[in-house]
Structure 1
Amino acid sequence: MSFLTALDILVQSMLLASAPLIFTALGGVFSERSGVVNIGLEGLMVIGAFSAVVFNITFASSLGDATPWVSLLVAMAVGGVFSLIHAVASISFRADHVVSGVAINFLALGLGVYLVKDWYGAGQTPQIPESFSYYRIPFLYDIPVIGPIFFDNFITSYIAIFVAIIAWYVLFKTPFGLRLRSVGEHPLAADTMGINVYKMRYTAVIISGVLGGLGGGVYALTISQIFSAGTITGQGFIALAAVIFGKWHPLGAMGAAMFFGLAQSLAIIGSSFPLLADVPNWVLLAAPYALTILALAGFIGRADAPKAIGTPYIKGKR
């Protein structure tokens, strides 16, 4: 295998594995920037994957080529609605954010697996009939050497990078982003300035649900192409690690998600590379999770979380 061929395989695999993590990590950034810890990213990915796959199977015959796109919209909508459970529990009822997020994870997985067994009579759904295909970006693909390597992939990979740039602009260049960040840093001061802390936090958690559902939908439609209990196995927690590793910044989270996506891709295709051919398979499979722990152990002390994160806000209390 030539160097360019190996690089091509590695980059395409990395972009494919990174896209779901980028979407979900961006959702975590919005939620935690507002002061709401979102351990439930895993559950949001699960319910998004379940919704996208079931919708795809059910309506593929009537929607045709548009099915994957509409499936992602459904995953986003269901993820947004599902995140309301976390928002009500953590914001209105002032429940512990971590406990609420863990409950979301269990509820999403249990509900998805139960409905799949009830509807399809098996532990997994059939394979989706309509999926995304590789997309070559015009003009950029024609660039010698790097064009075929970086600009021939699933379109969802490029959309994820574009959404990360949009998220950075919204958070740091718009009044909405300033208000959202203010309620995560000093909610009392924000309330004094006329900002509705509860409304901003609800909005941020719903955005995290929409993006988490999108991440799960992208994973199901581009990688697994089915839904089962093992479809989402830790990707939500890896996305949460990308939020922390990226220092609660959209572009930082995107870079961290790409790093973890690279580790995941090596776990899948690493044995085909001469340098990794002799490495035991279990080491490659464990690499993404080991690197997640090492990254957090090395950087969490240097990352400054929003000051009011995890702290319920009680209006009028000083």
Structure 2
Amino acid sequence: MSLPSATSTAPAAAGAPAADAPRPSRRGPVVMTVLTALGLLAFVLLADGGTTTLSLASARDVVALPDLVLPSRGAALVLLVGCAAVAALAWARAVGGRRTPSWVVPVFGALFVLAFLVWVVTGARVSLVSLLGGTLLLGAPLVFGAMAGVVSERAGVVNIAIEGQLLLGAFLGAVVASLSGTAYLGLVAAPVGGVLVGMLLAVFTIRYLVNQIIVGVVLNVLVIGLTSFLYSTVLSDNSGWNSPTGLPALPVPGLSQVPVVGPVLFNQNLLVYLMYVVVAVLHVMLFRSRWGLRLRAVGEHPKAADTVGIPVQRTRFRAVVLGGAIAGLGGASFTLGASAAGLAFNREMTAGSGYIALAAMIFGRWSPLGALGAALLFGFASNLQNVLSVIGTPIPSQFLLMAPYLATIFAVAGLVGRVRGPAAAGTPYEK
């Protein structure tokens, strides 16, 4: 009888990856290296000399900080050296067969975006407080949409219909706020629109086992057509139906006067404060409660969850409806949270925000806190294009309009690397 080979019986070396373990993806390090090289070429070697002025003060600050004046080339070079160091760490981990830490991509993204900001506003003065505050406002619908996707997909249902939920929430929020004369009633009505779309998604995908991707796309088209029809036939002829008042800013006493951080975080409207609460509560409930454990079990292995007595279909149905309510609340950001004066509803005003929210969810690895950071990154890209168009940057306006979508593509297709969502997401369950 032959003896087993030494290679089959010898234990693996300490710290060595298992033979059948998947190799860490090198896509992230490659993209980081390419972006760093392009940044060095454009931001340092080809850039004109000059200074970048960032304003750190606002009208409510207790202590007014002086402007931060930076040499554009020098600051961009220091930031890009930091990008190179992060990319080197990612390469070392990938070559060694070890998983890249979760903080690497956000740190690289922040350093690269700051280098780009320093370069692109050379010779101009930009308010950092306004830039970051606008990021929160524009990122709010993306955050709510990403949270809706996290709840639904953690339960095993792919929610492509976030775009429709945002749009119908914006529509109902604008109409109810206009007719009632108060934005707060519109804020209550907006989640109803998301719930209606979520219930349709749940009925077709959970009850009748229709393909989740197809149903989501169809619901998006349905909501776009319905709101466009109502806009043309009702809202256009009755201006009183589409003139909502916006949510006023509610500064937190004391905290809103802290330099830089205070005006950005604590001088916002109620919708932004609700965003803080939703993200924090959802993260705790999802990973620190029995409800969250059951929800994640249904999304990972529904048959095993059913075996131990967890009602799979009911859990999924409730999760999809809850996600719809969260997304509908985010839709109110387009009409009620845009400014204190409000913003009239318009056709397809969400402009693909639901799909960007899905990308933020994937970039955030199906975690509420991770999705929050990714959504704010995309919100920053959207707000940056507005700021650059105001200061008259030489970058063509078409490229500025492409900025948030380019950021989405680079983040998800390049930097995020190999990720695994809930195992049963997109798979219908039938007893």
> Above 0.5 in TM-score?
yes
* Match runs of 1:291-306 below 5 Å: 291-306=407-422
What residue number does 1:48 align with? 169
TM-score normalised by L of structure 2: 0.68
Gaps of 5+ in 2: 1-52, 58-126
Verify: 1:186 aligned to 2:301, yes or no.
yes
Q: Which aligned segments of 4 or more residues in structure 1 are displaced greater than 6 angstroms?
A: 123-126
> Aligned partner of 1:155: which letter?
L
Of residues 243, 259, 266 in structure 1, which corresponds to 2:377? 259
Q: Secondary structure at the match of 2:268?
A: strand
Of residues 51, 55, 64 in structure 2, which corresponds to 1:3? 55
Verify: 1:130 aligned to 2:245, yes or no.
yes
Q: Is the 8 A contact 1:16 1:154 kept in 2?
A: no
- Deviation of 1:127 (Å): 5.0
How far apart, CA to CA, are the structure 2 residues paired with 1:85 and 1:136? 38
* Match runs of 1:166-245 below 5 Å: 166-223=281-338, 225-245=343-363
How far apart, CA to CA, are the structure 2 residues paired with 1:54 and 1:76? 13
How far apart, CA to CA, are the structure 2 residues paired with 1:124 and 1:94? 42
Q: Is the 8 A contact 2:179 2:240 kept in 1?
A: no
- Deviation of 1:122 (Å): 5.5
Q: Is the 8 A contact 1:137 1:152 kept in 2?
A: yes
What residue number does 1:64 align with? none
Q: Secondary structure at the match of 1:50?
A: helix
* 122-131 vs 213-222, which moves further: 122-131
State the identity %: 40
- Deviation of 1:135 (Å): 2.2
1:124-172 deviations in Å (ceiling 9; x for gaps): 9865342112221212123244323442233322321221011001111
- Deviation of 1:76 (Å): 0.6
What residue number does 2:225 align with? 110
> Aligned partner of 1:294: which letter?
F
Q: Tell me the number of residue pairs that the alignment of Structure 1 and Structure 2 aligns.
A: 307
Please tell me whether Structure 1 or Structure 2 has the larger radius of gyration of its CA atoms.
2
Of residues 270, 276, 279 in structure 2, which corresponds to 1:164? 279
What residue number does 2:209 align with? 94
What residue number does 1:19 align with? 140
> Aligned partner of 2:299: which letter?
G
- Deviation of 1:3 (Å): 2.9
* Match runs of 1:143-162 below 5 Å: 143-162=258-277
Q: Is the 8 A contact 2:161 2:197 kept in 1?
A: no
Gaps of 5+ in 1: 61-66
* Match runs of 1:62-77 below 5 Å: 67-77=182-192
Q: Name whichever structure is richer in helix by fraction.
A: 1
